[in-house]
Amino acid sequence: MDRWWPEIAAFIATGHSNAKSEGIKRVIKLVARAAHGFRNSTNQRLRTRCVTTRRARGHLHPA
């Protein structure tokens, strides 16, 4: 607890954390691991972008 106190105090003071960016980073790593055999790096990049968009994750429900 003592080691992380500056970060905890910053969260308490501002209400902001890096949870969203850490979650996206985790998804990118999982997709990269699943797409390891892709020969075309452009397709791998597009697959990563597709997975990390809000619509693909189900947050937006278009009418």
The 10s digit of each residue's pLDDT in 30-52 is 877 776 666 777 877 777 777 77
Q: 57: domain range?
A: 18-63
Whether residue 56 is contained in a domain is answered as yes
On average, the pLDDT of the chain sits at 78
Measured CA to CA, the distance from residue 27 to residue 38 in angstroms comes to: 17
| Cβ contact 41:61 at 8 Å | no
Whether residue 5 is contained in a domain is answered as no
pTM: 0.50
- Write down the H helix ranges in 1-63: 5-14, 19-34, 41-51, 54-57
Whether residue 7 is contained in a domain is answered as no
Q: Is the pLDDT of residue 63 over 70?
A: no
Share of the chain above pLDDT 90, in %: 10
